[in-house]
Amino acid sequence: MKNVLFTLLVCAAASPAQNVASAASPVQAMWSDASFQKQFLAGYGVASDVEPRLNEDEGTILEEILPLMATDLPRAEATLKKRLEPDCSARLDFVLGTIQMQQAMAGNGERMADALATLQRTVAKFPNYRRAWSNLGLIQARLGNHDETIRSFTKTIELGGANAWTYGVLGHAYTAKQDFQPAEAAFRNALLLEPENSQWRLGLAQCVVKQQKFEDAAALLDVLIERAPANADFWMLQAHAFLGMKKFLRAAENLEVIDRLGKSKPDAQFTLGDIYLTEGLVDMATRAYVRAIEIDAAQPVGKPLQAAESLANRGATANARSVLTKVRDTMGKTIADTERRRLLKLEARCTMADGDATPETVKTLEEIVAMDPLDGEALLMLGKHFAKVDQPDRAMFWYERAASLEAFEAEAKIRHAQLLAGAGRYADAVPLLRRAQQIKPREEVARYLEQVERNARARR
Let me know if 338 is exposed, middle or buried by CB neighbors in 10 A (0-12, 13-18, 19+): exposed
Q: How many helices (H) and strands (E) does the chain have?
A: 26, 0
Q: Contacts by 282-291 with C-beta closer than 8 Å and gap 24+?
A: 282/311, 282/314, 282/316, 282/319, 283/319, 285/311, 285/319, 286/311, 286/316, 286/319, 286/322, 286/323, 289/323, 289/326, 290/322, 290/323, 290/326, 291/259, 291/264
With a cut of 80, say whether residue 379 has pLDDT above it: yes
Q: What is the pLDDT of residue 434?
A: 95
pLDDT for 345: 84
Q: Tens digit of pLDDT for each residue in 36-93?
A: 444 444 433 345 567 788 888 888 888 888 888 888 889 999 999 988 888 899 999 9
Per-residue pLDDT at 23? 35
Kindly report the average pLDDT of the chain as a whole number. Answer: 86
Encode 341-364: b = buried (16+ Cβ within 10 Å), e = exposed. bbbbbbbbbbbbeeeebeeebbeb
What percent of the chain has pLDDT above 90? 63
Q: 273, 286 in Cβ contact below 8 A?
A: yes
Q: Is the pLDDT of residue 447 over 60?
A: yes
pLDDT per residue as tens digits for the range 14-23 = 333 333 333 3
Q: Is the pLDDT of residue 415 over 90?
A: yes
Note whether 384 and 415 are within 8 A (CB): yes
Burial class (CB in 10 A: 0-12, 13-18, 19+), 321: buried
| Window from 150-154, 319-323, 387-391 with minimum mean pLDDT | 387-391
- pLDDT tens-digit map of 269-301: 999 999 999 999 999 999 999 999 999 999 999
As a residue count, the chain comes to 460
Whether residue 320 contacts residue 312, with contact meaning beta carbons closer than 8 Å, is answered with yes
Rounded distance between C-alpha atoms, residue 290 and residue 252, angstroms = 16
Q: Would you state the pLDDT for residue 364?
A: 81
Answer for the pair 9, 134: CB distance below 8 angstroms, yes or no: no
Across residues 171-191, what is the average pLDDT?
96
Q: Domain-by-domain residue ranges, the chain?
A: 1-161
* pLDDT for the residue numbered 335: 86
Identify the helix (H) or strand (E) that includes residue 364. helix 359-371
**Three-class secondary structure of residue 269 per DSSP:** helix
- Residue 348: predicted pLDDT: 83
Residue 341 has pLDDT above 90, yes or no: no
Kindly list the distances between the CA atom of residue 214 and the CA atoms of 248, 270, 273, 274, in Å, as whole numbers in the listed order: 13, 22, 22, 20
Domain 1-161 sits in CATH 1.10.10.10: no
For residues 96 and 84, give the distance between their C-alpha atoms in angstroms, rounded to a whole number: 10
pLDDT of 354 reads 67
Residue 182 has pLDDT above 90, yes or no: yes
Q: Which positions ≥6 away from 298 have C-beta within 8 Å? A: 334
So what's the pLDDT on residue 21?
Answer: 34
Residue 26 has pLDDT above 90, yes or no: no
Distance CA 152, CA 156 (A): 6
Q: Which residue has the higher pLDDT, 13 or 289?
A: 289
Contact 399, 384 (CB under 8 A): no
**pLDDT value for 209:** 95
Q: Is the pLDDT of residue 143 over 50?
A: yes
2: left (phi > 0), else alpha (psi -120 to 50), else beta?
A: beta
**Of 212 and 11, which is predicted with more confidence?**
212
Cα dihedral 215, 217, 219, 223 in deg (nearest 10): -170
User: 81, exposed or middle or buried, with CB in 10 Å at 0-12, 13-18, 19+?
Assistant: exposed
Distance CA 180, CA 438 (A): 48
Average pLDDT over residues 148-177: 94
For the chain, what is the radius of gyration of the CA atoms?
35
In this predicted structure, the answer to whether residue 157 has a pLDDT above a threshold of 90 is yes
Taking CA atoms, 115 is separated from 40, 109, 312, 374, in Å, by: 18, 10, 62, 63
Name the 3-class secondary structure at 385.
Answer: helix
Q: How many CB atoms are located within 10 Å of the residue 205 CB? A: 28
Task: Measure the CA–CA gap between 65 and 68, rounded to whole angstroms.
Answer: 5
Q: Are 290 and 326 in contact (CB under 8 A)?
A: yes
